[in-house]
Amino acid sequence: MFYKVFIDESGQKEYKTPYTKDFINNPPPFDKYEDFWRDNYFVLCGIRIKTEYLAEINVVINKLKKAYFSTHRVEVKSDWLRNPYQRKKHYLLPFQISAEKLNKFGDAFIELIAKYKKEMKIIAVVFDKRYYGDEKRQTPEGIPLLKSTQVLFERLHYAGNLHIVVFDQMESSLRVTKGQQGRILNILQDNSGMEKIYVDKYNTISDIVFVESYNENFIQVADVCAYNIFRQFIKFGREFCQKQDKKISLKMEMYAYFEKIRCNFYYNPLNNKVAGCGLICLPDVNKINWDVLSGCSNNKKTSLK
């Protein structure tokens, strides 16, 4: 069985805030320090799809784009859908659509992702920078993109079957031997510069390619999912990663659009566990088994008609 995994990111790759344990022991309140939490989290999000579904779902995405923009040649980016200047530049003026219609498209795009919860599975890694001290930050282990990539590759290894991994292009060139793209390739080949984890060789990854997001609908899906996971952790991430009273119901509050895609998360079929399988927090200090899939029905194939 062959899968493709489309990967994009959300949040800053760099560290903006000096390390101090006080940010762990006394997290700044979100309502007063939202910018702190925006700088703190980095999300790497993969959309895992069996190759036999790619063409059919791609047609559905293109039909949705044509319904709103009269063409499928339009790139969906979470930042462009939200930022007033980018909305005007990339959508409102070029396609002569109203702000209300654009908002409806954004909602419809999320609903499309949620509809194909069986076929499009999310595997996301959330990097919590508070836990990485000054010394660690100088090593590949403390680089959010590289460590998150290593952990995502590990989860693909345990998922089984074969994968082609498709990253959003990170450099001005599509060459994979330079810059961040080259470092990602090195992780696949020999975990170069990284501490060894539980996998010596990623046998389930047959290839890595880098593509321009404009030309790939599923990279655009990964972009939108990554942002909504990012927003979930900005607002409610402390619940996910910190100690909880085991006597209370382990249900975290949810950002509205995260809740819409939560049934897409990859999970362990033996116990329906998402935490540590389809949604990984680095570090996951207390390994709480959050009930992310409550009310989801993930076993029925979506009708693609």
Verify cis geometry, omega within 30 degrees of 0, for the bond prior to 27: no
Lowest-confidence pick of 36-50, 94-108, 190-204: 190-204
* % of the chain exceeding 70 in pLDDT: 91
Give pLDDT, residue 270: 85
Task: Confirm if 235 and 30 have CB atoms less than 8 A apart.
Answer: yes
> Does position 246 have pLDDT exceeding 60, yes or no?
no
- Please state the separation of Cα 12 from the chain's center in Å: 13
DSSP string, the chain: -EEEEEEEEEE-SS--S---THHHHSPPPTTT-HHHHHHHEEEEEEEEEEHHHHHHHHHHHHHHHHHHHSSS-----HHHHH-HHHHIIIIITTTT--HHHHHHHHHHHHHHHHHTTTTEEEEEEEEEGGG--HHHHTSGGG-HHHHHHHHHHHHHHHH-SEEEEEEEP-SSS--SSSHHHHHHHHHHHH-TTS---S-SS-TTEEEEEEE-GGG-HHHHHHHHHHHHHHHHHHHHHHHHHS---TTS-------HHHHHHGGGB--BTTTTB-BTTTEEEES-SS-----TTTT---SSPPP--
138 φ/ψ sector (left φ>0, alpha ψ -120 to 50, else beta): alpha
Q: How confident is the model at residue 12 (pLDDT cuts 50, 70, 90)?
A: very high
Q: Is the pLDDT of residue 57 over 70?
A: yes
pLDDT of residue 299 exceeding 60, the answer is no
What mean pLDDT comes out for the span 25-47? 95
Look at residue 177 in the predicted model and tell me its pLDDT. 63
Min mean pLDDT across 88-102, 181-195, 209-223 is at 181-195
Higher pLDDT among residues 97 and 243, named by residue:
97
pLDDT recorded at residue 298:
59
What is the pLDDT at residue 195? Answer: 76
Average pLDDT over residues 217-222: 98
- What pLDDT, on the 0 to 100 scale, is given for residue 132? 95
Whole-model pTM above 0.85? yes
* Residue ranges of domains in the chain: 2-51+120-282
Q: What are 86's two structure tokens?
A: 């980018």
Residue 160 region by backbone torsions, left for phi larger than 0, else alpha for psi between -120 and 50, else beta: left
Identify which of 72-76, 140-144, 251-255, 289-293 has the greatest average pLDDT: 72-76
248 pLDDT more than 50: no
pLDDT of amino acid 249 = 44
